[in-house]
Structure 1
Amino acid sequence: MGSKKKEIALQVNISTQELWEEMLSSKGLTVVDVYQGWCGPCKPMVSLFQKMRIEVGLDLLHFALAEADHLEVLEKYRGKCEPTFLFYAIRDEALSDEDGCLSHDEDNGEDEDMASSGKTCTLAIIKPDAVAHGKTDEIIMKIHEAGFDILTNEERTMTEAEMRLFYQHRAGEEAFEKLVHHMCSGPSHLLILTRSEGTEDVITAWRMLMGPCDPDVARREQPDSLRAQFGTEMPFNAVHGSQDRGDASRELALLFPTFKFSDEVPEASLGPGARSGGPH
């Protein structure tokens, strides 16, 4: 008698920070069912997931489970009484090349228009040093004057877990711990920017407005830039911006998992739906 073939689990259980980071590096689309321990994951969705994975293929579509109480990065979802699904995408040749944009998950009939607008989005952060010095409103005014549209502006104090993941590409640098500590030291303003005017894409335009990373260099080379005007010294340089389109997608996915994007932009929240085990 031949041996029984081992069944591959449809949904991978993400229970540690290491598994979470490994999941974020997976090529293709990963759908994460964020659940509460008292409720359990969403069983009615499993049959739909199975059908979707058969149609799309095993290499491009992945499903995962994550209990909110087990991961610091999911702290904001603890105690929720509705299903939450997060979508993370890493570009692959098989995925669309079109630019994505964002729309807030509100049932107001505007999601489809915003998602199909074709505008590129980027992340901007007004850092704790600028917020503490009362410069937020002035920086936002300069952002508007430079022709940017602010799709969302959220004041938030980031967690250490978020910032270690956010800056994981700089983990080997001497200033890494100081940077993480600074970014968690007080409230920041997290903005999602797009741009309807000018020929530059929003990522390049925002980096030009910020100026060189070091405020001293910015004051010499681009005295009108935000870092020249509002930064003091490294890492207290007032603002952050995504390096390129790949970084923008990754950073937006990490810090704004309750927004949804079309095409390559990586996350969405499906909102309320059927879930077994009581309300979620």
Structure 2
Amino acid sequence: MGSKKKEIALQVNISTQELWEEMLTSKGLTVVDVYQRWCGPCKPVVSLFQKMRIEIGLDLLHFALAEADCLDVLEKYRGRCEPTFLFYAGGELVAVVRGANAPLLQKTILDQLEAEKKVLSEGRERKVIKDEALSDEDERFSHQKDEGEEEDVVSSEKSCTLAIIKPDAVAHGKTDEIIMKIQEAGFDILTNEQRTMTKAEMRLFYQHRAGEEAFEKLVHHMCSGPSHLLILTRTEGTEDVVTAWQTLMGPCDPDVARRDQPDSLRAQYGTEMPFNAVHGSRDREDASRELALLFPSFKFSDQVPEVAQGKSLRWICRTFFSFTVIDAVSRSTR
């Protein structure tokens, strides 16, 4: 990571074991975004990393990307839907952050950078960690089931839903703003994928509106450019995630939203129908159908484990979608 070319890039792409070992020799702190090929790197945090790189400088803070499928050292991270950031200093793992949580990432970077500076300048002992979630996830999941905690773990407040940032909002450069507002409203983003939809997908997606006059216009708009597809959950509050997302979006018509819910996303980012910036599932049944259609390879039974009170998100989503939906996900084709 010492060459001029690599310093210019914000995030160095680590694609081989040799590059991984070179990263471990870097002086200072390196934040590695470990990602899956099917969903790509975590884009919402790039602006934060750029800001911190400018404020802190190049000497002791480095950022990298690593695809889990390319490196044997990351084998245990394969197939995980939640963004994962590994913090390395002196060739050792010193912190882990899961989820695109900008405030937590910023705090962790500053804390670990300060700790590493003391290691380098004062000879302090570096606090090395192990990612315990990798080793005890299955044991904890089994233990919860054996204790009969299903009723406590699975509740109507803890579930998943689909959110789409539509092509109009993406084209206007509002994606990062909307994602930050989603996080500030108490949602956790399990996955965020940029994708341009096909007409076949959208006709099936909106089949319940096939008889409407605006159907073809809606389909054309949704296929007109890239969208951002997000899977949302909530770990705080008592409101169901589907209802909470509907509330944050606001009324479908941006004009109505501006009149009745001026703080909603559609009021702030929508213009006119169908350019209303965001989509959300109408209810739980819709959420399961839409997710099965747009994420056919997404295994809800394998989601990353911990949410509030140490409960298993994997178990929450497994029960919410039921084995019938999981079967539909595995059988769906694009």
Shift of 1:247: 0.2
Shift of 1:196: 0.6
Helix, strand or coil: the match of 2:194?
strand
Q: 2: CA distance between counterparts of 1:267 and 1:239?
A: 26
Contact 2:162 2:281 in 1 (8 A): yes
Q: 2: CA distance between counterparts of 1:165 and 1:263?
A: 25
Contact 1:227 1:237 in 2 (8 A): yes
Contact 1:149 1:193 in 2 (8 A): yes
Aligned partner of 1:157 in structure 2 is: 196
Match of 1:217 among 232, 256, 265: 256
Q: Which has the higher helix share?
A: 2
Helix, strand or coil: the match of 2:326?
coil
Contact 1:121 1:192 in 2 (8 A): yes
Please say if 1:267 is aligned against 2:306: no
Percentage of matched positions with identical amino acids: 80
Q: 1: CA distance between counterparts of 2:225 and 2:326?
A: 26
Aligned partner of 2:243 in structure 1 is: 204
Q: 2: CA distance between counterparts of 1:170 and 1:194?
A: 26
Show the 5 A alignment for 1:19-30: none
From the superposition, tell whether residues 162 and 137 of structure 1 become closer, same or farther in structure 2 (CA, over 3 Å): same
Matching residue's letter, 2:206: Y
CA deviation string 1:190-246 (max 9, x = no partner): 000000111101000000000000000000000000000000000000000000000
Q: 1: CA distance between counterparts of 2:171 and 2:281?
A: 22
Q: 2: CA distance between counterparts of 1:152 and 1:208?
A: 21
Q: 1: CA distance between counterparts of 2:294 and 2:224?
A: 17
Please say if 1:246 is aligned against 2:246: no
- Structure number with greater CO (CA < 8 Å, separation at least 6) is 1
Shift of 1:259: 1.1
Shift of 1:264: 4.7
Superposition RMSD on alpha carbons, in Å? 2.5
Q: Output the TM-score relative to the length of structure 1.
A: 0.56
Contact 2:247 2:264 in 1 (8 A): yes
Runs of 5+ in structure 1 lacking a partner?
1-75, 77-102, 271-280
From the superposition, tell whether residues 136 and 174 of structure 1 become closer, same or farther in structure 2 (CA, over 3 Å): same
Show the 5 A alignment for 1:71-90: none
CA deviation string 1:52-75 (max 9, x = no partner): xxxxxxxxxxxxxxxxxxxxxxxx
Show the 5 A alignment for 1:40-119: 104=81, 113=141, 118=154, 119=158
Contact 2:197 2:226 in 1 (8 A): yes
Q: Output the TM-score relative to the length of structure 2.
A: 0.47
Matching residue's letter, 1:225: S
Aligned partner of 1:179 in structure 2 is: 218
How many residues align? The count is 167
Runs of 5+ in structure 2 lacking a partner?
1-37, 39-79, 83-133, 301-317
Q: 2: CA distance between counterparts of 1:267 and 1:162?
A: 19
My pick for the range that moved more, 168-177 or 115-124, is 115-124
Aligned partner of 2:165 in structure 1 is: 126
Aligned partner of 1:136 in structure 2 is: 175
Contact 2:162 2:231 in 1 (8 A): yes
